[in-house]
Amino acid sequence: MPLKIPRIVMKFGGTSVADLDRIRAVAKTVKKQVEAGCEVSVVVSAMSGVTNQLVDYCQSLSPLFDPYEYDAVVATGEQVTSGLLAIALQTIGIKARSWQGWQIPLKTDDAHSKARIESVDSEALIECMKSGVVPVVAGFQGVDGTGRIATLGRGGSDTSAVALAAALKADRCDIYTDVDGIYTTDPRIVEKARRIKAIAYEEMLELASVGAKVLQTRSVELAMKEKVRVQVLSSFEDSPAAMEDFLPGSLVVSEDEIVEKEQVTGIAYSLNEAKVVVKNIPDQPGVASAIFGPLASGNVNVDMIVQSSGSDNTTDMTFTVPKTELAQAVQILENERPNIRFKEMSTDSDVVKISVVGIGMKSHTGVANTMFRTLAERSINVQVISTSEIKVSVLVAAEYKELAMRALHTAYGLDAK
Ligand code: ASP
Ligand code: MG
């Protein structure tokens, strides 16, 4: 039986193709995989800074620019790098050609400037690879139903790569970037943060505050839906052979591919929340809906909630909303005051939400308790708690951000050796 030829999509971000030297280095990395016997399709971003410049041009001419023309402008960054990388590959003896979104075609809806992918035609690309030519695909772009160029939202070439990997049924989608993987937490806050070797899609989505800049969220959602294995790698380090058992970087995969499920995989934080306390409300059925109904109608996103009832037949409701929606939330509640019948309301924006995340929580017990004990030992007061199947979040005073995150990182055994 002939051995199956591994098929890989390799995606290079803006810093990886920032100048001609970097593009030459990328060409060498691609060559290595081709010579290792893989079928390779490449996806590129624009040179770093280029898309920002193009967006600026549009905004300078008109803040209310036509999104169709915006897409025609900003998609050019990727057109340039796809052609340049094809030339760089040809120069070192690798057959290659560029592909624009419309040529594949990669079809999108008509939500210009943030279009969603509707389908990717894999036929032409497969034929291209089979004939020994490496397709170099311009990321971030596609074509709408009427034939006009559409782009996928900032950071969208990650999503192009994942969609392509799904359509090509690739063994892996390698995302080359300027960091060497996904970390247990923000290394600028916790020095002992370490690289995660394998992380589940759900965890990656929950750890957005740690990893959001590494992969576009939409690309992770798509990878989860299509079960695309995503390897995050640094293009600034020596690249591995394609199918080695051990790869550097971080692998983002489905839960069942992760053998060792730690109770906690990573720790995230958010400074984007504010706390609202509504006090002394008559304790009777319908209190929660009197508060959260109007907030929902006003499009205020409520995240964490606790209700605490006193002995005097009144109750307090504490919850969090995005800081940007705080003023609106307060106004809505003041308007509803005769209906809710609360005595007092207070708010606090000086808070941080810290979340510990791990699919291992489904099978380990005591994860939340470790969190509460660790914080209590540091005399850090927990103001609000919320939990989900793979996450425990607490709200604490913002001044404890560093202390709490470092203590938790140690408590869950995440510190680098
Ligand atoms: N060049 C686009 C951007 O800067 C797409 C990408 O890099 O993923 O947003
Ligand atoms: Mg990016």
Question: 207, 182 in Cβ contact below 8 A?
Answer: yes
**Helix, strand, or coil here: 137?**
strand
Query: Residue 416: inside a domain, yes or no?
Result: no
What would the mean pLDDT of 4-31 be, rounded to a whole number? 96
Q: Which of 258, 284, 302 lies at the terminal end of a domain, its last residue?
A: 258
Question: Domain check: are 168 and 36 in the same one?
Answer: yes
So what's the pLDDT on residue 91? Answer: 98
Query: Residue 139: inside a domain, yes or no?
Result: yes
Cβ–ligand 1 distance for 14 under 6 Å, the answer: yes
Query: Residue 198: inside a domain, yes or no?
Result: yes
Candidate of 140, 176, 178, 219 to mutate for ligand 1, largest count of ligand atoms within 8 Å of Cβ: 140
pTM: predicted TM-score of the whole model, two decimal places: 0.88
211 pLDDT exceeds 60? no
Q: Which of 348, 367, 399 lies at the terminal end of a domain, its last residue?
A: 348
Question: Domain check: are 286 and 329 in the same one?
Answer: yes
Range of the domain at 180: 7-258
Query: Residue 408: inside a domain, yes or no?
Result: no
So what's the pLDDT on residue 244? Answer: 56
For the segment 90-144, what is each residue's pLDDT rounded down to a tens digit? 999 999 999 999 999 999 999 999 999 999 999 999 999 999 999 999 999 999 9
Q: How far apart are CA 198 and CA 180, in angstroms?
A: 13
Query: Residue 389: inside a domain, yes or no?
Result: no
Candidate of 51, 176, 216, 218 to mutate for ligand 1, largest count of ligand atoms within 8 Å of Cβ: 51
Question: Domain check: are 325 and 192 in the same one?
Answer: no
Question: Domain check: are 162 and 294 in the same one?
Answer: no
The domain that contains 191 carries what CATH number?
3.40.1160.10
Query: Residue 393: inside a domain, yes or no?
Result: no
Cβ–ligand 1 distance for 140 under 6 Å, the answer: yes
What would the mean pLDDT of 311-329 be, rounded to a whole number? 94
Give percent above pLDDT 90 in the chain: 86
For the segment 278-288, what is each residue's pLDDT rounded down to a tens digit? 999 999 999 99
The domain that contains 313 carries what CATH number?
3.30.2130.10
So what's the pLDDT on residue 310? Answer: 78
Question: Domain check: are 236 and 336 in the same one?
Answer: no
Question: Domain check: are 210 and 301 in the same one?
Answer: no
Distance between Cα 156 and ligand 1 center (Å): 6
Maximum distance among all alpha carbons in the chain? Answer: 82
In 10 A of CB 76, how many CB atoms? 15
Query: Residue 375: inside a domain, yes or no?
Result: no
Angle at 232 between CA 113 and CA 41, to 5 degrees: 70
Question: Domain check: are 150 and 283 in the same one?
Answer: no
Question: Domain check: are 168 and 301 in the same one?
Answer: no
| Tally of domains in the chain | 2
Question: Domain check: are 176 and 252 in the same one?
Answer: yes
Cβ–ligand 1 distance for 249 under 6 Å, the answer: no
Ranking 52-66, 124-138, 155-169, 310-324 by mean pLDDT, the lowest is: 310-324
- Dihedral sign from CA coordinates of 320, 322, 327, 329: negative
Q: Which of 314, 348, 382 lies at the terminal end of a domain, its last residue?
A: 348
For the segment 58-86, what is each residue's pLDDT rounded down to a tens digit? 999 999 999 999 999 999 999 999 999 99
Question: Domain check: are 280 and 164 in the same one?
Answer: no
Question: Domain check: are 144 and 29 in the same one?
Answer: yes
392 pLDDT exceeds 80? yes
Question: Domain check: are 245 and 297 in the same one?
Answer: no
Cβ–ligand 1 distance for 114 under 6 Å, the answer: no
Query: Residue 401: inside a domain, yes or no?
Result: no
Cβ–ligand 1 distance for 160 under 6 Å, the answer: no
